[in-house]
A = this chain, B = another copy of it.
Amino acid sequence: MVTSEQVARLAGVSRATVSRVLNGSSSVREETKKRIFAAMTALGYQPGSIAIDASNQRSRTIALMLFQHEHGLNFSHITQTHNYFFLDILKEIEAALSEAHYDLLIPSRPYHTFDTVDDNQPGTYIQALQARHIEGVLAVAINLTDPRIQALAHSEIPTVFLDNIFKGEHATSIKSDFVGGAKQAIKYLLQLGHRRIACFPGDPITPTGTERLLGYQQALAQAGYTLDPVLVRPSGWDFEDAYEAAMTLLRERRDFTAIFAASDMMAIGILQALHEYHIRVPEEISIIGFDDIDLSKHSAPPLTTMRQDTQVISQGAVSTLVQMIEGEKVVPAPMIVSTRLIVRSSTASVSTIVE
């Protein structure tokens, strides 16, 4: 590898000056600057990042962490169908990080060089991140009971949580307005004339599930309708979970004209159940999803849904994190991003129902 030493020699200056040119830290005579640039291109010099990091004591690296099952790796989570939505987030995060000149690390090697220590103990988990000079963490906390989450939230490592609210000395969060989004979805269905609306809130163990359920309840209450508990069907977040829950509901032959699903992936599972029962959408049943993943516009029929603003969430997460790393000590308050109704063909007003 070409070193700054060689560049310096060729340009007839000291390594210090080469470094100054690289960083623009202090002014260098135009003339010498030119000589140095010439030497750099002549040799094909690239400053080595390890040395830069060693010297600056920083890595410009942020880690992406998914907490789902206690000891799983990151991608093993993200490939599950119910996490499909996060891929869109990841895409935008990568772009935003690139703008800000940070790298994204998917930590996969064991954190410790010696084996006496248990990686997953909350305390040593944080030490391990610090030892690796992770400057910030973007965390998706799904399994809220994982003790590493609290350890992270209370550590000194700047952290932004996506989708669930955590606060700490150096931690904040950003998420969609699930309550408001669910409310708007239900209002829209009410507006179309639907009165008996089934609700698949996802997993009510998680706040993100409960929030959607709450929006459903509030919208109904505010419009003056009573909720029929038999139409509320908790389930897991996966495609199959929703499919199964829908099959059960259909088997029971309940009376309803519309369905609110807590995610698009779930809606697509429900759609398949309806399909198997030869129930036409939206002629017989309307259905509305949540997220607006790209598959939604390709489902049969294309799905009406509440879009989460992935761009605002991702850019917000990154800029907040960068600010916490580089900027003032003030930790920004948790951010709530509003959702938007996207009307496609899976919803129709009750009056158009064909018998």
| A108 within 8 Å of B (CB atoms) | yes
| Contact pick for A239, options B37, B88, B298, CB 8 Å | B298
**In the assembled complex, which residues on chain B have CB atoms less than 8 Å from the CB atom of A88?**
79
Within 8 A of B (CB), among A42-81: 44, 46-54, 57, 59-60, 73-76, 78-79, 81
Chain A interface bracket (under 10, 10 to 19, 20 to 34, 35 or more): 35 or more
Q: Which of A126-134, A136-144, A174-182 contacts B (4 or more CB under 8 A)?
A: A126-134
Give Cα A47 to B131, complex, Å.
6
Enumerate chain B residues within 8 angstroms of A240, measured Cβ to Cβ. Answer: 298
A114/B75 in contact, CB under 8 A: no
What are 26 A-B pairs at a CB distance below 8 A? A1-B131, A37-B116, A41-B116, A44-B124, A46-B127, A50-B53, A50-B57, A50-B59, A52-B113, A53-B53, A54-B54, A73-B95, A73-B98, A76-B91, A76-B94, A79-B88, A79-B294, A81-B295, A98-B109, A100-B109, A102-B109, A104-B105, A104-B106, A104-B108, A239-B298, A269-B298
Residues of A within 8 A of B (CB): 1, 21-23, 37, 40-41, 44, 46-54, 57, 59-60, 73-76, 78-79, 81, 87-88, 90-91, 93-95, 97-98, 100-114, 116-117, 123-124, 127-128, 130-133, 239-240, 243, 269, 272, 275-276, 294-295, 298, 300
